[in-house]
Amino acid sequence: MYSGIIHPTQIWTCFQQYFCDDLPYRLQQSTIQIPEDMPTPHFDYGLHLLSKNFAQGRKLLIDYGLPLSIQDWESLIYENPLMASELDYDQDQEKHLGNDRLVQLNDGQHQIYDFVLCQLLTDFTKGQFFIHRPAGTGKTFLYKCICHYYRNRGKILLCVASSRIAALLLPVGHTAHSRFSIPLEINEQSVCHIGKNTHLADLLRQTSLIIWDEVPM
């Protein structure tokens, strides 16, 4: 992504067996159902993993002349129940709901909506925003509009709140303590108990945005 490789397709063709030498074992150890008519699924899975790495730098395989993966690996990999739950929505319906709510935003809400999405699209790694307004000014409505925007594009967006009552008002809302495994008794050495290879860790790696209501609490 960061250097001028002249012939990336030749590098892939010559060295794909070395790039992907660990993937047959990974696929064998997983519960992914490999299509029987695919002779070298680990090469195709390797292209899928490359595409995910490139996406972090806002690049695509076609930007380097590389072929797209044939298999829809995302649909096979999503045996994680947490990810399946967060992706259990209709993208067309999300688009319709988003468009309906977008026209109802007032000037202040629209200004925040445009600013947040513009900043995230420019550099999502630095996107941290604090929205503070009195109750009844439409913060939750704004959160839902942003949520529809991401889900319309097939992204995972987590909605959490510091209290259960507030979490019920958010799309697929959870309390922050339950979602992030935050200890109830907190001190300076406290950490969230999230194992590296757990479903929750995988979910967080795939998450594009987190909306946290009542975060000052």
Residue 211 contacts residue 158 (beta carbons within 8 Å): yes
The structure tokens listed for 126 are 């630095």
The answer to whether residue 141 scores a pLDDT higher than 70 is yes
pLDDT at 26: 78
Residue 61 has, within 13 A of its CA and on its CB side, a CA count of 15
List residues bridging with 157 in a β-sheet: 209
Q: Indicate left, alpha or beta for 154 from its phi (over 0: left) and psi (-120 to 50: alpha).
A: left
Q: Over the stretch 55-103, which tens digit does the pLDDT of each residue have?
A: 767 788 888 889 888 887 776 665 677 887 788 788 889 999 999 999 9
Residue 202 has, within 13 A of its CA and on its CB side, a CA count of 13
How many angstroms separate the Cα of 175 from the Cα of each of 82, 146, 161?
A: 15, 19, 5
pLDDT at 86: 85
pLDDT at 75: 66
What residues contact 126, with CB distance under 8 A and at least 6 apart?
119
Q: Write out 108-133 in H/E/C secondary structure.
A: HHHHHHHHHHHHHHHCHHHCCCCCCC
How many angstroms separate the Cα of 110 from the Cα of each of 30, 105, 189?
A: 44, 6, 40
Listed by start position, the domains of the chain span: 8-77, 84-213
Looking at the whole model, is its pTM more than 0.95?
no
Q: Over the stretch 95-104, which tens digit does the pLDDT of each residue have?
A: 999 999 999 9
